[in-house]
Amino acid sequence: MRVAVEEDIWHGGDLATARALFPEAPQPWIDLSTGINPIPYPLPALPLSLWTRLPGADDEAALAAAARAAYRVPDHAAIVAAPGTQILIELLPRLAPAGPVAVLGPTYAEHGHAWRKAGFAVEEAAAVPEAAATVVVVNPNNPDGRVMPREDLKRLARRSAARGGLVVVDEAFADFTPDLSIVPELPEATIVLRSFGKSYGLAGLRLGFAIAAPEQAAKLTAALGPWSVAGPALHVGALALADRRWLAAAGEARAGDAARLDALIAPHGRIIGGTGLFRLVETPAAPALFARLGRHGIYVRRFRDAPRRLRFGLPGDARAWARLGAALAADAA
Amino acid sequence: MRVAVEEDIWHGGDLATARALFPEAPQPWIDLSTGINPIPYPLPALPLSLWTRLPGADDEAALAAAARAAYRVPDHAAIVAAPGTQILIELLPRLAPAGPVAVLGPTYAEHGHAWRKAGFAVEEAAAVPEAAATVVVVNPNNPDGRVMPREDLKRLARRSAARGGLVVVDEAFADFTPDLSIVPELPEATIVLRSFGKSYGLAGLRLGFAIAAPEQAAKLTAALGPWSVAGPALHVGALALADRRWLAAAGEARAGDAARLDALIAPHGRIIGGTGLFRLVETPAAPALFARLGRHGIYVRRFRDAPRRLRFGLPGDARAWARLGAALAADAA
Q: In which band, very low, low, confident or very high, does the pLDDT at A330 lie, cut at 50, 70 and 90?
A: confident
The answer, for A224 touching chain B at a CB cutoff of 8 Å, is yes
Rounded to 5 degrees, φ, ψ at A330 are: -65, 160
Residues B331 and B324: their CA atoms lie apart, in Å, by 13
SS3 A282: strand
**How confident is the model over A219-258, as pLDDT tens digits?**
999 999 999 999 999 999 999 999 999 999 999 999 999 9
Distance CA B207, CA B41 (A): 14
Smallest Cα–Cα separation from B267: which of B320, B318, B198, B324? B324
Phi and psi (nearest 5°) for B212? -160, 170
CB-CB neighbors (< 8 A) of A45 in chain B: none
Count of Cβ atoms closer than 10 Å to residue A105 Cβ: 20
Q: Is A239 on the interface with B (CB under 8 A)?
A: no
Check B202 against A52: CB less than 8 A apart. Answer: yes
Of B232, B206, B217, B236, nearest to B82 (Cα)?
A: B206
pLDDT of residue A200: 98
CB contact under 8 A, B2 and A226: yes
Query: Average pLDDT of chain A?
Result: 95
Number of H helices, E strands in chain A: 11, 13
DSSP secondary structure string for all residues of A41-106: PPPPP--THHHHSPPPHHHHHHHHHHHHHHHT--TT-EEEEESSHHHHHHHGGGGS-SS-EEEESS
Query: Who among A6, A51, A225 is closest to B205 (CB)?
Result: A51
pLDDT given for residue A130 in this prediction: 86
- Compute the nearest-CA separation of A130 from chain B (Å): 30
Q: Among residues A114, A85, A91, A92, which one has the least CA distance to residue A233?
A: A85
Largest Cα–Cα separation, chain A: 59
Residue of B nearest to A31 (CA): B53
Amino acid (one-letter) located at A101? V
Cα B45 to Cα B48: distance, rounded to the nearest angstrom: 9
pLDDT of residue A6: 39
Q: A333 to chain B, minimum CA–CA distance in Å?
A: 31
Which residues of chain A lie closer than 8 angstroms to B233, CB-CB? 230
**CA A227 to the chain's CA centroid:** 23
Residue A167's alpha-carbon distances to A187, A191, A193, A250, A321, in angstroms, are 9, 6, 11, 30, 39
Cα B154 to Cα B168: distance, rounded to the nearest angstrom: 12
Q: Does A52 touch chain B (CB under 8 A)?
A: yes
Instruction: Provide the chain A residues 79-118 that lie in CB contact (below 8 A) with chain B.
Output: 79-81, 83-84, 86-87, 89-90, 110, 114, 117
Q: Decide: helix, strand or coil at residue B195.
A: strand
- Residues B266-285: tens digit of each pLDDT: 999 999 999 999 999 999 99
Statement: residue A188 has pLDDT above 90: yes
Q: Closest partner residue to A1 among B43, B64, B233, by Cβ?
A: B64
For range B253-262, the mean pLDDT = 98
pLDDT of residue A332: 55
Instruction: Encode pLDDT of B51-78 as tens digits.
Output: 999 999 999 999 999 999 999 999 999 9
% pLDDT > 70, chain A = 97
The confidence score (pLDDT) of residue B2 equals 35
Q: Name the residue of chain A whose CA is nearest to B206's CA.
A: A230
Query: How far is Cα B182 from Cα B193, in angstroms, rounded to an integer?
Result: 11
B214 lies within 8 A of chain A by CB: no
CB contact under 8 Å between A51 and B40, yes or no, is: yes
Instruction: Say whether residue A162 is in contact with chain B using an 8 A CB cutoff.
Output: no
Which H/E stretch holds residue A253? helix A244-265
Q: How many CB pairs below 8 A link A and B? A: 189
Taking contacts as CB-CB distances below 8 angstroms, the residues of chain A near B31 are 53
Measured between beta carbons, the chain A residues lying within 8 angstroms of B89 are 225
Nearest to B68 by CA among B76, B82, B83, B78: B78
Instruction: Return the pLDDT at A7.
Output: 40
Inform me whether the C-beta atom of residue A203 falls under 8 Å from chain B C-beta atoms. Answer: yes
Q: Name the E strands within B203-244.
A: 208-212
The answer to whether A228 contacts B50, with C-beta atoms less than 8 Å apart, is no
Write the pLDDT tens digit of every residue in A79-107: 999 999 999 999 999 999 999 999 999 99
Nearest CB to A3: which of B34, B87, B222? B222
Asked whether the beta carbons of residue B221 and residue A1 sit closer than 8 angstroms, the reply is yes
User: What pLDDT digit, counting tens, does each position of A288-312 carry?
Assistant: 999 999 999 999 999 999 999 999 9
ipTM, two decimals, is 0.94
DSSP state of B178: G
Residues in B closer than 8 angstroms to A197, CB to CB, are 54
CA distance A315 to B116: 49
Answer yes or no: is pLDDT of B109 > 70.
yes
Q: pLDDT: is B16 or A293 the higher one?
A: A293
Residue A54's closest CA among B255, B319, B313, B60?
B313
What is the per-residue pLDDT for B333?
A: 46
pLDDT at A192: 98
The closest CB to that of A232, out of B55, B86, B204, belongs to B204
All structural domains of chain A? 15-40+246-329 (3.90.1150.10), 49-242 (3.40.640.10)
